[in-house]
Amino acid sequence: MFFPMSRTPVFTGNCVALATPFDENGNINYDAFGRLIDSQIEGGVDAVCVCGTTGESATMTIREHIAAVEFCVKRVNHRVKVIAGAGSNDTSAAVYLSLHAQDSGADALLHVTPYYNKCSQTGLIKHYEYIAERTELPIILYNVPGRTGVSFTAETYQVLSQNPKINGVKEASGNFSLLAHTRFLCPDDFYVWSGNDDQVVPMMSLGAKGVISVASNIIPQVMTKMSHLCLENDFQAASKLQIEYMDFIDALFCEVNPIPVKAALNLIGLEAGPLRLPLCDISPKNLEILKASMAAKNLI
């Protein structure tokens, strides 16, 4: 079925993938969460993403997930766009989370590919079309096959791009050939955002509209400047910034996300607290690597 194209991007520039602070008892630390949100907005981010991978949504109960989204929307208070993670490997659960995010006042949804099930491309299409039929919010697809075990093809993006509620995709596959083919097959208003902090500039040179960033939890001004330089077609200056911060970005992924970024947040006093099992504290060796990279950038 053909749908007329009338989409504008949910955001352009830098969206922080918010970490979720926990207290020593394992509960969400809302005071620290509020401070983190405020620090990001003060740092110039264009949007925030709550309850994504970096937010440890996979370890949250449904009630916690809903409460975290509600809190974030209220704290942001229309200062920037709020994108709510609502993905699941159970399509009905994804709809449930989507409707609660919609009722909370979120601006858009982030839907990761169904993990563990490893559905077919036809299954992906049916999954997202089912969700889109049942929510009014724009949907950002999320492709991260290293975590989910399944990747979109460019041809599947082409089919889904015909649905006006599907705004685009957070691409974290690291596959530039997939990105190029997607840009070739899909209309210009099917938007792409980098899901990898170390690939912001090259992806934006191929037409991505910005980044959904882990590093922004620590360096919001840098990630915003980098993405905005690209939007202004100053790729030379943006490239210098990308290269300048590569060591720090690498350190943020020396262990599985969000282990290093929560350690970094604790180091700068933003009280991210502990991780939830099965994630555990960063190793002493990698903590020293992280500290050295932060000290080199005067972050600690």
pLDDT in tens, 81-120: 999 999 999 999 999 999 999 999 999 999 999 999 999 9
Read off the amino acid at residue 256: V
pLDDT over 60 at 2, yes or no: no
Q: Contact, 109 vs 78, CB < 8 A?
A: no
Residue 183 token pair: 């840009």
Q: Contact, 82 vs 106, CB < 8 A?
A: yes
Three-state DSSP state, 44: coil
Higher pLDDT, 2 or 50: 50
Tens of pLDDT, residue by residue over 195-248, are 999 999 999 999 999 999 999 999 999 999 999 999 999 999 999 999 999 999
Average pLDDT over residues 257-284: 97
Q: Which of 135, 29, 128, 137 is nearest to 82 (CA)?
A: 137
Confidence of residue 152 (pLDDT cuts 50, 70, 90): very high
- Cβ of 121: how many Cβ atoms within 10 Å? 14
pTM of this structure = 0.95
In order of 113, 149, 162, 171, the CA distances from 121 in angstroms are: 10, 13, 16, 16
Stated as kind and residue range, the H or E segment containing 65 is helix 62-76
Measure the CA–CA gap between 134 and 101, rounded to whole angstroms: 12
Tell me the catalytic residues: 142, 170
Return the CATH superfamily for domain 13-296: Aldolase class I (3.20.20.70)
